[in-house]
Amino acid sequence: MCRLLAYLGSPVLLEPLLYKPEHSLIVQSYQPREMLCGVVNADGFGVGWYHSQKETEPFTYKSTLPIWNEINLPNLSRYVESGCVVAYVRSATLGQALDLSNCQPYQYQRLLFIHNGRIDKFRQTLYRPIRNQLSDEIYQLIKGTTDSEHIFALLLNQWQANPGKSLEQALQITLLQLQELAQSYQTYVSANVIISDGHRLIASRFSTKSPAPSLYWITNHSTFPKSVIIASEPLFAENWISCSENSIISVGEDCDITIEQI
């Protein structure tokens, strides 16, 4: 399973967010504390961020190297500043290819998407059923083979098919659809996801069997004032709040937080 991180708030350099915390995402790549399966997150990483002043599509930087072995990211992190960042370190599911097409975050227009979790026995169970649900446009967007990208495609499909619904509502419909498919094909799904359009964060802590992978949030920490951070594991010792299982957390432009049970 992967480790996730998302930030929304006052513009910040990537370095204090990715490298400075005592239990940073870098540390979590080789010494995670709360993973339900796997030992390290050495199968690549990705960072996505938005320009602080321009309404452009987001930027991404991905690699199949372990994040602790990537020599360019530290220098990049001292230069890039953003008010909205998503990042992850990967622990690949057995049998999934280690290439850039399978590296997150996945992008569609202004949206960035990261996922921690799994569809158990994905290729034997929900691979075809999910693809059968997709419009031709969304189907053609899939470049890799991961369950993560297929969950994102299913979400995009729901969002486009229901233009009157919010992204939060589309995410809830998608998770319930995955739950129904999992029951039909006798498998299970865990889907901690974070989605952003550069102005908001929308996250879920979800699993069709308990426990769901860990997910926490914290707001207005002294090092990161006027901000919200969502992470798989706390980055530092502080009053992090554990997200409820099977819930969706929405963070607005003013860092206001809304939590809804699925």
Active-site residue 37, yes or no? no
The Cα 111–Cα 165 span in angstroms is 16
The token pair at 170 is 């589309």
Percent of the chain surpassing pLDDT 90 = 90
Please report the pLDDT score of residue 52 as a whole number. Answer: 80
Please report the pLDDT score of residue 2 as a whole number. Answer: 93
Query: For the chain, what is the domain count?
Result: 1
CATH (domain of 251): 3.60.20.10
Is the C-alpha dihedral spanning 170, 174, 180, 183 positive or negative?
negative
Closest CA to 216 of 205, 206, 227: 205
- What is the tens place of the pLDDT at every residue in 141-183? 999 999 999 999 999 999 999 989 999 999 999 999 999 999 9
Q: For residues 28 and 35, is the Cβ–Cβ distance under 8 A?
A: no
Judge residue 233's burial from the number of C-beta atoms within 10 Å of its C-beta, 0-12 exposed, 13-18 middle, 19 or more buried: buried
- What is the tens place of the pLDDT at every residue in 201-230? 999 999 999 999 999 999 999 999 999 999
Q: Which of 2, 84, 103, 243 is catalytic?
A: 2
Q: Which residues contact 39 (CB under 8 A, 6 or more apart)?
A: none
Inform me whether the pLDDT recorded for 95 exceeds 90: no
Gyration radius from the chain CA atoms: 17
Q: For residues 118 and 190, is the Cβ–Cβ distance under 8 A?
A: yes
Q: Cα–Cα–Cα angle for 250, 254, 257, nearest 5°?
A: 30
- What is the tens place of the pLDDT at every residue in 36-86? 888 898 999 999 999 987 789 999 999 999 999 999 999 999 999 999 999
Instruction: Write out the residue range of the structural domain in which residue 148 sits.
Output: 3-261
Distance of alpha carbon 215 from the chain centroid: 11
pLDDT mean over 86-101:
86
